[in-house]
Amino acid sequence: MKKLVRVVFVGLLLVQSLCVAQNLGGQQAFSFLNLPINAFTNGLGGMGISATGDVSQAWSSPALLDSTHRNQAAFTVAPYLAGAKMVTASYGLPTAQRWALGMQYLHYGTMPLIDNVGNETGTFSAADYDLLLAHARTEGNITMGATAKLVGSGIESYQSWAAVVDLAGFFKHPKRDLTFGLAVKNAGVFLKRYSLTDDSELPFDVQIGATFKPRFMPLRFSVTLHRLHQWNLVFNDPSINFTFDSNGNRMVKKVSGVEKLARHVIIGTEVLLHKNFRLLLGYNHLRRQEMQLTKAAGVAGFSFGLLAQTSRFGFSYAYAIQHIAGGLHAISFRF
């Protein structure tokens, strides 16, 4: 365990050096890595590194791998916006140590190919894909985990590839239903970019989370803080968010510190109706603020779902409302 801690520590130092070189603005490549990997996470707001589940939770945090995931398989199908579809498969290897493999595939469909003068010359497709290898080890109440991922994207004849890692820790209270998680995600390097002028960044993230169940309540709460390496997540469009000073001059509205903090917070709740059945509720404030219309937000940012399971089989479904026009469905199976 001490050796693993040293490896993780060195990894964090490397991650820190990568972060210093990255700008906080700009465009992200492989942003599909931020999508919830299963229905359970989708129902709890879209992210979660402290709530335990099936083997597919290794995508959220490799430290969530445990001994019950050996020889366990999980599949998720998620119809996405504009006809896109995501499929994820995860498998816990039947070994003495905790290892898991995974595959993620997001297909955006087939689109017309149009040349620079407007003539349709055929069709093309676009897709993102991801291969995962995760490992975790436990010492006492603490689990440390690491994930290696090969990430790819293809748009017509253009290709992009990257190698990224996740490093995570997980603490389980010995007596109470209380857990804490820490994860550094998607730190790595590009192996190939779309073009020589492509300056997009990897979707790096630092997350902490806690999950707890009050002793006499049939509820389990999860709170996740994400993108902690970047305090201000507000895109303050001066053409929309403005006011006037006492002289009638237009000025950009200031965003409060409370609002900036709230955009880092994701809240999830499990309603424990039975040991084999629960409801899922979630709220993602950043999603709500980024996806709402100028005059109406609707219920963007909220999510809900259900989970039914036995010792050998599990089924879950969740719907996360991305926008007033629609959202992300996810259906997961575990066996």
Q: Which residue has the tokens 């490896």?
A: 7
Q: Is the dihedral of CA 281, 307, 184, 235 positive or negative?
A: negative
pLDDT in tens, the chain (335 residues): 555 444 444 444 444 444 444 444 457 899 999 999 999 999 999 999 999 999 999 999 999 999 999 999 999 999 988 889 999 999 999 999 999 999 999 999 999 999 888 999 999 999 999 999 999 999 999 999 999 999 999 999 999 999 999 999 999 999 999 999 999 999 999 999 999 899 899 999 999 999 999 999 999 999 999 999 999 998 766 666 667 777 777 777 788 999 999 999 999 999 999 999 999 999 999 999 888 876 667 889 999 999 999 999 999 999 999 887 789 999 999 99
Burial code (b: 16+ CB inside 10 Å, e: under 16) for 9-30 equals eebeeebeeeeeeeeeeeeebb
C-alpha distance from residue 85 to each of 78, 166, 242, 333 (Å): 6, 24, 38, 16
Distance CA 317, CA 308 (A): 9
Instruction: List the one residue out of 212, 216, 207, 159 whose CA is nearest residue 185.
Output: 207
Q: Is the Cβ–Cβ distance between 54 and 128 less than 8 Å?
A: no
pLDDT value for 36: 96
C-alpha distance from residue 21 to each of 8, 11, 64, 202, 301 (Å): 20, 16, 29, 12, 31
Instruction: List the one residue out of 314, 223, 311, 317 whose CA is nearest residue 279.
Output: 317
Set out the domains of the chain in order of their start, with CATH numbers: 2-228+264-334 (2.40.160)
What pTM was computed for the model? Answer: 0.89
Query: For 266, phi and psi rounded to 5 degrees?
Result: -125, 130
62 secondary structure, DSSP code? G
Beta pairing partners, 329 = 319
249 secondary structure, DSSP code? -
45 secondary structure, DSSP code? T
Distance CA 211, CA 63 (A): 14
pLDDT value for 323: 83
pLDDT value for 250: 73
Hey, how many other C-beta atoms are within 10 angstroms of the C-beta on 199? 11
